[in-house]
Structure 1
């Protein structure tokens, strides 16, 4: 068996295993009680966003703290395309003239998701030249600055975003099926890019940027490609999240949400697509459990102190960085069983 065939089989096995995992989660959400459904859908939405981050950070080696900004773009896009026109007219009486047409728009959810991905990708395209020129610590700080800029705009531009006031009236369109389909597509996109020519060259620059440049690899171009693609996936996740919450504000998409996603990708392993999926699902379930413990639901009325969720996540992040700097999965991917891999190599 050729090396190409073995790699193709491993990628297909990884994709099949990950899609099976998210399918089980979606089935649990669809066939059980509303509490499990909420946890399942929230976990699948997190999978989409964390895979978006992984497409950029996992292949470039640059940790992004700014992808929640693309979520915000996707969420506001979803709001304008799903809130009933009559309600939008009362919510946005002072829309700038070029944006007045948005009051009358209403679209099916698949169209909303595509529009959210497109708007987030366009935003990323505008910022790509700056991100492509930076690397290392400077690039990480720049992504955080992008998040702060986005939050400042959404929190201050009240005529368009309602500022700190809530966006209300979104129908709850993010079902277990919709979340599963988007998570499955995100898995396919992440694995496809990771094993594409651009992804392989970007990973080469991750290992040794100077050697990659000396070999003629256009590192900046590949970083920009990953940046835009990852933004589209995260923007889709933002639309799913908005249609899951049905109410959100500018403060929804800031540091607290960013911190949760960073814990997910660090714990699972930012170099591994499988790690991103596992980390997203595990931390999502833990966050929901801790929130309910804070509400006293499982402790006979005794509520844990506020802030316990952030405290536990911070401790997990520190332990993960000490004990497993590359996450639980490291660079490994779920795929063919070890015995089958050995047989494949023997028959190759």
Structure 2
């Protein structure tokens, strides 16, 4: 099986393969931010910090320890989740612009710390060896991306997800209904950070080189743009938004001088005519049920009520 997967990867065009891997990693990162910003309603501008924690943790584990790559990704995700929960406890009492500024400041602090640590090789960054895994890296990335999509879809419709959406809609009403707002915010922050850490680990081992400067403010803005473009809170929209924005710079490479101008113009155009995002309000689980010829759960409940 592993040999067949390796042969399949070798047959693909390397350039196209790189674009597909970038899309897969972007989907994982955007889904993590969607939990924080789209579902819970907490504006975060420091998601790249959790990605960097996962990337450097995964790289250091690979360099210093000989453990399976799957466990490596799990540990890097847990490290990012711990950092997310630790920083989330004091700052998630804030809302709106104040929260965004705090997460932005946190991301800059993390970058500066990594730039001055010997273990991260300071500003020189780390060269990351290719992991010893029977599964090729591109296949690994998309397996994790598919798992992230499935998990996010079920999480959103679970009791935990409904509590997060209640906090997003009205924190006072949610608290009045007995929801522990602080606990749920920290848990959503840690969960989003975990996915960012896993995405960072995959990024580090695919690129084979990481530098603290790669995880700056613009990286966080890229991930936020993916979530907003697809539609806040929409799993399907996040997947589509991440795919478009991850691939757009490559498809616009033929007009290198005006690439960023066209890129920004497309975002403005879509935000004007689709302010809720491309798939805002679309439920990914409902799309799957409709494709299988089944009715969404809400439609079944309404039929029973009538």
Please list the CA deviations of residues 221-270 of structure 1 after superposition, one character each: whole Å capped at 9, or x if unmatched: 11111000111111000000011110120111112322221221111112
**Mapped pair 1:197 → 2:159:** yes
Distance 1:112 1:342 in 2: 38
Name the CA shift for 1:119/1:34 in 2 (closer, same or farther; >3 Å).
same
> Do 2:234 and 2:282's aligned partners in 1 also have CA atoms closer than 8 Å?
yes
Q: What TM-score, normalized by structure 1, do the two folds share?
A: 0.76
Equivalents in 2 of 1:278, 1:29: separation in Å? 23
Any idea what SS the aligned residue of 1:287 has? Answer: helix
Distance 2:245 2:121 in 1: 31
Q: Runs of 5+ in structure 2 lacking a partner?
A: 1-6
Confirm whether residue 36 of structure 1 aligns to residue 21 of structure 2. Answer: no
1:225 corresponds, among 167, 187, 190, to 187
Q: What is the deviation of 1:320? A: 3.3
Deviates more, 1:242-251 or 1:201-210: 201-210
Task: Please say if residues 130 and 205 of structure 2, whose CA atoms lie closer than 8 Å, have aligned partners that are also in contact.
Answer: yes
Partner Cα separation in structure 2 for residue 114 and residue 48 of structure 1: 14
- Per the normalisation by structure 2, the TM-score is 0.86
Indicate the residue corresponding to 1:57 in structure 2.
37
* Shift of residue 288, structure 1, vs aligned partner: 1.9
Q: How far apart, in 1, do the equivalents of 2:147 and 2:294 lie?
A: 27
SS of equivalent residue, structure 1 residue 114: helix
Could you tell me which runs of 5 or more consecutive residues in structure 1 were left unpaired when the two chains were aligned: 1-26, 84-103, 295-303
| Kept in 1: contact 2:234–2:283 (CA 8 A) | yes
2:170 equivalent in structure 1: 208
Q: Compute the displacement of 1:200 (Å).
A: 0.6
Q: 1:322 aligns with which of 254, 272, 275?
A: 272
Q: Max radius of gyration: which structure? A: 1
Q: Indicate which of 97, 110, 119 corresponds to 1:160.
A: 119
- Aligned equivalent of 2:218: 256
C-alpha separation in 1, matches of 2:71 and 2:192? 19
